[in-house]
Amino acid sequence: MIARRLTPALQRSAKSLLLLGPRQTGKSTLVAQLEPDLTINLFHEPTYLEFARNPHELEERLAALPAGAQRRSIFIDEVQRLPSLLNTVQVLLDRPRCPYRFLLTGSSAEPFTKSHTRRLVQHPKFRASHRIGRSTEPRSTSSSRQSARSGPSS
């Protein structure tokens, strides 16, 4: 339900996005539906270690993308694992005619300092930060659960 509402708006937007929320609420699935040009999953330990060891890893991967005139979308999943990466994203966004749209997801805002996220989401090339949580999912009432268990009434 959330994906049906958010996906069209996100597809139309050219701005970058930071999407935060609890694990297993559909953040990564939602962003993957936008078909990014590059996906970086920092939950994958070898990928995380590459980025942790090499502060230029993001720029190197972006440089390796095929040249093109169109804007590239870059999905960084579980960005809370490496909050300093937000500094690099901001530097890239600050460049004139930045050819990238960053789609960032995180399971928890705790590792982010307030200044990291505040600076980034106030950037003119950034869409407002969104939170997805279990409370946004529709809840079934006890009567609908009961009728589902007992089957149709006659």
Let me know if residue 102 belongs to a domain. yes
Let me know if residue 10 belongs to a domain. no
Query: Could you give the C-alpha distances from 46 to 42, 53, 115, 153, in angstroms and in order?
Result: 8, 11, 28, 54
Rounded average pLDDT over 139-154:
38
Q: How many CB atoms lie within 10 A of CB 104?
A: 27
Let me know if residue 107 belongs to a domain. yes
Q: How confident is the model at residue 131 (pLDDT cuts 50, 70, 90)?
A: low
Describe the strand order of the beta sheet including 100-106 as a list of residue ranges: 38-41, 72-77, 100-106, 17-20, 130-131
Domain count, the chain: 1
Task: Name residue 58's amino acid.
Answer: L
Let me know if residue 5 belongs to a domain. no
Let me know if residue 124 belongs to a domain. yes
- The pairing of strands 17-20 and 100-106 is parallel
pLDDT tens for 29-80 read 889 989 999 999 999 999 999 999 999 999 999 999 988 768 899 999 999 9
Output the pTM of the full model: 0.73
Q: Which pair of tokens denotes residue 81?
A: 């694992």
Residue 86: which domain range?
Answer: 35-43+57-62+70-132
Let me know if residue 28 belongs to a domain. no
Element spanning 41, H or E: strand 38-41
Give counts: helices (H), strands (E), the chain: 7, 5
